[in-house]
Amino acid sequence: MRSKRFLVASLVVLFACKPPTPAEQLDSALSWVATARMAGDAWLQHTTPDKYTRQTLELSQQTLLQLGTKLLKSPVPGVDSASLDSLLTRSRGHIAQMAALVTAKNSPGFRQQLDSLISDETLVKQFADSAESKQ
Amino acid sequence: MKKILQLTLGIITSVGGFLEIGSVVTAAQAGANYGYKLLWAILLGTICLIFLVEMSGRLAAVSKHTIVDATRERFGFPFFSIVMLGIVAVAFLVLVAELGGIGLALQILSGIGFRWWAIPVSIIVWLLMWKGTFGVIENGASLLGLVTISFAVAAVKMHPDWGGAAHGLLPTMPGDGKAKYGFTAVSILGASISPYLMYFYSSGAIEDKWDESYIPMNRIIAGFGMTFGGFLSMAVLVAAALSLQPRGIDIEKFEQAALLMTPALTRWGFYLFAFSMLFACLGAALEISLAIAYFFAQGLGWSWSEDLDPSRDSRFAFTYTIIILLGAIPLLLGIDPIKVTMMSMALTSATLPLAIVPFLFLMNDSIYLGKHRNGWLSNSVVAIVILISFVLAIISIPLEIIGG
């Protein structure tokens, strides 16, 4: 009986998938903003095909939406979650615009959105650094 | 002359067939997250693999037994069935990951999601198995896999810090995030020391009718082929450390890995990555399907040979047909192949003792190997690496699961 309880407890501990911490989610958000930026740079240099670029930008946008929702529910300690949410929302907007501009093959407009995303990336990095220093 | 040709082809195919989704994804994640710090794990895994592959060929050449039938004969069916259960379950997960890898490569090339590729890819793999011979599977896909040499070109073109890379060959532990670091190391070891490779190699030696005169050739193929293959894995890690880590990109999805070579090789880099993954995963999917079918056929005493017409070894052919069909199901359901890859590589490490310990017993048995049985060096290297992988796996897998 005791061994059975131990087995059940061990399995519960083993498979109790705790979600990533808010700080890890913020790092993930930074990684996806950086991915969108790298994919954007590559597209402007004619390195990647349109379909791949659009899909990657859409994936970045969707993932950032999910991460933003999670970060609102469980904020990163010491980080102004309202400001972070508005920053991530703005970044998503730039990425969505970039995806649309790939379809339209509008390079100048794409470059403008990419520049704005680069500014946002710097700010997300500041949030991530500040969260890391407070850990 | 024939042996020189076989030797050359053996080394080339070992290099071309070395990388697969597991080795690429684990090395790329390691490079993107930890820079050069996990190069030691690839080095350790490659050294162990050189010994294991050499042993697999030697066992077949001397005893005319594959690992599977020798294990069943030496340890009896009840023990063998436990080994079979563990190894086949993990090999099946690796097959799902490889089929998914082909689908993902086609997805980034065509824009059509990997789920849509699950059935066509499975049919192509099955057709190649059904119609192909052992030579086609062993050499054809691996020769196409030589495109993976582009990872080495990309890494060198990005001017790595060779001193830093050399430092990464020595094991270190990070200050924080030990669970994730350990899990990545375990996954790299699992990707390097895949038991299916040993079963495939020893069965191949029987298919190619090796005898004791092949022992020196086997040693050279294992040594050179695996060493060059290990360098390719290291090149993936170095390329990721130089292209993704400075940008803060962690590889969670395949789309992120696709950018790995673009800073060095621009447009070529994107397509070379896609075709590298396509051919590497195709080769691995064929080898794993074959290895699983060999496992069942040799373990259960059925007739088997990839060179026979399927009507002459119908149970063997039926096994790979079912395995490939089942492998497509998780992909049709949309399960992320990258997640399957990471988990299957870590589980490979955890189940290594199950495959390697009985194998070491066989390799020290004079009934099978006579004067060609293992020396202390082979035994020690393999035992130490397996112990390290197992300990790392049982510590880091639960920690990583708990940590999400």
For residue B361, the one-letter residue type is: F
Whole-number CA gyration radius for chain A = 19
Residue of B nearest to A31 (CA): B249
Residues of A in contact with B253 (CB under 8 A): 59
Q: Which two tokens stand for residue B75?
A: 């340890």
Residue of A nearest to B252 (CA): A28
Interface pTM (ipTM) of the complex? 0.88
Angstrom distance (rounded) from CA B259 to CA B276: 13
Residue B182 reports pLDDT greater than 90: no
Q: Chains A, B: CB contacts under 8 A, how many?
A: 78
Query: Which CATH code for domain A21-133?
Result: 1.20.120
Confidence grade of residue B388 (pLDDT, cut at 50, 70, 90): confident
Interface test with B, best of A17, A24, A47, A59 (most B CBs within 10 A): A47
Q: Do A13 and B402 touch (CB under 8 A)?
A: yes
Closest to B255 (Cβ–Cβ): which among A37, A49, A56?
A: A56
Residue B241 reports pLDDT greater than 70: yes
pLDDT value at residue B354: 87
Q: Tens digit of pLDDT for each residue in B53-108? A: 999 999 999 999 999 999 999 999 999 999 999 999 999 999 999 999 999 999 99
> Mean pLDDT across the stretch B323-348?
93
Query: What average pLDDT does chain B have?
Result: 92
Angstrom distance (rounded) from CA B103 to CA B77: 37
> Mean pLDDT across the stretch A31-57?
97
Q: Tens digit of pLDDT for each residue in B42-51? A: 999 999 999 9
Contact predicate B272/B150, CB 8 Å: yes
Comparing A135 with A105, the larger pLDDT belongs to A105
Residues of B in contact with A47 (CB under 8 A): 262, 266-267, 269-270
Interface test with B, best of A11, A31, A118 (most B CBs within 10 A): A31
DSSP state of B198: H
Angstrom distance (rounded) from CA B132 to CA B307: 8
> Mean pLDDT across the stretch B183-205?
89
Q: What are phi and psi for residue B317, nearest 5 degrees?
A: -65, -35
Q: To which residue do tokens 């390290």 refer?
A: B388
pLDDT value at residue A6: 45
Q: How far is B402 from chain A (nearest CA, A)?
A: 5
Q: Which two tokens stand for residue A46?
A: 């004619």
Q: Which residues contact A10 (CB under 8 A, 6 or more apart)?
A: none
Q: Residue ranges per domain, chain A?
A: 21-133
Contact predicate A102/A54, CB 8 Å: yes
Residue A121 reports pLDDT greater than 50: yes
Enter the pTM of the model.
Answer: 0.92
In order of start, what are the domains of chain B with their CATH numbers? 2-403 (1.20.1740.10)
Interface test with A, best of B107, B259, B261, B338 (most A CBs within 10 A): B259
Q: Which two tokens stand for residue B91?
A: 């090999």
Residue B223 reports pLDDT greater than 60: yes
Q: Which two tokens stand for residue A50?
A: 């349109």
> Mean pLDDT across the stretch A79-95?
94
Residue A8 reports pLDDT greater than 70: no
Q: Which long-range contacts (CB under 8 A, 24 or more apart) does B103-106 make?
A: B103/B331, B103/B337, B104/B254, B104/B277, B104/B337, B104/B338, B105/B274, B105/B275, B105/B277, B105/B278, B105/B281, B106/B278
Q: Which of B94-98, B134-138, B192-196, B357-361 has the highest mean pLDDT?
A: B94-98
Name the nearest CA neighbour of A34 among A129, A132, A135, A118.
A118
Closest to B398 (Cβ–Cβ): which among A14, A31, A56?
A: A14
Lowest model confidence (mean pLDDT) among B20-24, B78-82, B349-353, B364-368: B349-353
Q: Is B404 on the interface with A (CB under 8 A)?
A: yes
Closest to B250 (Cβ–Cβ): which among A31, A39, A125?
A: A31
**Percent of chain B residues past pLDDT 70, beyond the cut:** 98
Q: To which residue do tokens 């500040």 refer?
A: A130
Name the nearest CA neighbour of B398 among A101, A17, A5, A106.
A17
Q: Do A125 and B252 touch (CB under 8 A)?
A: no
pLDDT value at residue B4: 80
pLDDT value at residue A12: 44
Closest to A38 (Cβ–Cβ): which among B247, B253, B402?
A: B247
Contact predicate B154/B260, CB 8 Å: yes
pLDDT value at residue B400: 65
> Mean pLDDT across the stretch B333-345?
92
pLDDT value at residue A19: 66
Angstrom distance (rounded) from CA B13 to CA B7: 10
Comparing B243 with A1, the larger pLDDT belongs to B243
Name the nearest CA neighbour of B397 among B180, B226, B125, B232.
B180
Q: Is B270 on the interface with A (CB under 8 A)?
A: yes
